[in-house]
Amino acid sequence: MSPSYTGSSSDEDDVSPREKTQKNSKGSNDFCVRNIDLHAFGRREIEIAEQEMPGIVALRKRAADDKPLKGAKIVGCTHINAQTAVLVETLAELGAMVRWAACNIYSTQNEVAAALAEAGYPVFAWRGETEEDFWWCIDRCVNAENWQPNMILDDGGDATHLMLKKYPAMFKLIKGIVEESVTGVHRLYQLSKANKLTVPAMNVNDSVTKTKFDNLYSCKESIIDSLKRSTDVMFGGKQVVVCGYGEVGKGCCQSLRGLGCVVYVTEIDPICALQAWYAFTLMGIDGYYVFPLNEVIRVVDIVVTATGNKNVVTREHMDKMKNGCIVCNMGHSNTEIDVGSLRTPELTWEKVRSQVDHVIWPDGKRIILIAEGRLINLTCSSIPSFVVSITAATQALALIELFNAPAGRYKADVYLLPKKMDEYVASLHLPTFDAHLTELSDDQAKYLGLNKAGPFKPNYYSQGKLVMPKSKSLQMLLFYAPYDERTVPPAEILFRVELESKNLFEFK
């Protein structure tokens, strides 16, 4: 039986998928995608992605016989693209049942969603969902006949938020939440602080492998590709402001600077601001200029947000922008740019191409708004599959850990991925480069107080950032450590250490 649906065969027709009757080749209609007939194209996309995702594929092969997720019923709310599909199919190979929705209304690859639906996975997502569609799709993943989820894999916290609001009783059977974004992690910590978090949650966003590879290198490559695809802009000589100098901001700055842009940085954190200036002065090259947005907004050609905060770029800022300024977002949510303030009678919106709007002021000035303030790199481009393999393996291991953890190991709080698992994720990807690790001798391991097999760093160590366990006192300390970025020659650079207890170390 071939897959079928009623309605236009166009990928971008005007009929809402919710109004179509579609079935896959097995006769199932437990999905809602734009066009099930796109499944063959989507399957090729998934196969191509697999070739660049050695770590998650290796994990699938190693753990397939053990089925460590047998009995897991996972609600997934992430971007739906070829790389995510590899993760979804890996979780299924490891024994899990899944239902999946998108965390972004513009980032879904319709052909990939169709391929997953054709393979029998309940997927509810399509590119260009309305706000109502967005919440309806998540609801269909959470609340279905003969379905009680016991795990949540979230990107931004929307599935967690909906379940807490509409189905709080479901959390009695939830074993854990895995969250991969800055925004979602922030929401989890807020829930924990308010004593509203009733299950353990794993923060994989701050795992070393996620932070140092996905957040930095993925964004470093995809910001340029997405800006080129959407605007055809030439970067040499352009003045750019990047709002936020976390790992995402660092990647954006390095890439834009490398193509000849003059880069400004806005920051609220004095340590990140110091990094922005100091990182490159060590090489005898000027660092990034650090200013409040108001002081540079009139001169910049491109504005990139990467903070995870709301209203970073306001209507007041956009009123001051020069004609032709490009405005885009690399953070998680669409709230970083106050797009709602632009929907007023005196401003005219003109769609010039897919996901690119000109917003025109009464005097003729126009700004170029990308993806209505949503993620530019997932809306207008894609991200490197190899980097996503690292993140996907991290997510899979976090799910395995929470699902199989004995009672009492994790309380209703937010945890970092155990360092041993972080190191295991990295080791899965080393064979790609024919990399071989040095092994400690027994004497060396004893001297360092380590197990020869690892972990080689404590759980609170984050490759340059130390976050110690909670306690009443908090000290901030700056120290010198080798800079670990490949793009910069070895040098000493200030890194941040957060010591939350005086008694954890003895200073002599």
Look at residue 285 in the predicted model and tell me its pLDDT: 53
Q: Is 439 annotated as a binding residue?
A: no
Q: Is 262 annotated as a binding residue?
A: no
Look at residue 384 in the predicted model and tell me its pLDDT: 85
Distance from C-alpha of 140 to C-alpha of 129, rounded to nearest angstrom? 14
DSSP state string for 230-243: HH----TT-EEEEE
Q: Is 377 annotated as a binding residue?
A: yes
Spatial neighbors of 303 by CB under 8 A, at least 6 apart, are 240, 241, 243, 297, 313, 317, 321, 325, 326, 327, 328
- The residue ranges of the chain whose pLDDT is under 50 are 2, 4-11, 283-284, 464-508
pTM: predicted TM-score of the whole model, two decimal places = 0.77
Look at residue 463 in the predicted model and tell me its pLDDT: 52
Q: Is 249 annotated as a binding residue?
A: yes
Q: Is 339 annotated as a binding residue?
A: no
CA dihedral 189, 190, 191, 195 (to 10 degrees): 100
Look at residue 221 in the predicted model and tell me its pLDDT: 86
Look at residue 495 in the predicted model and tell me its pLDDT: 30
Query: Do residues 48 and 85 make contact, with C-beta atoms less than 8 angstroms apart?
Result: no
The b-or-e profile of 327-348 (16+ CB within 10 A means b, else e) is: bbbbbbbbbbbbbebbeeeebe
Distance from C-alpha of 207 to C-alpha of 305, rounded to nearest angstrom? 22
Q: Is 250 annotated as a binding residue?
A: yes
Query: Do residues 200 and 177 make contact, with C-beta atoms less than 8 angstroms apart?
Result: yes
Q: Is 129 annotated as a binding residue?
A: no
Q: Is 246 annotated as a binding residue?
A: yes
* Structural domains of the chain in order of their starting residue, each with its CATH number: 17-206+406-424 (3.40.50.1480), 216-380 (3.40.50.720)
Neighbours of 377 (CB within 10 A): 24
Query: Do residues 177 and 150 make contact, with C-beta atoms less than 8 angstroms apart?
Result: no
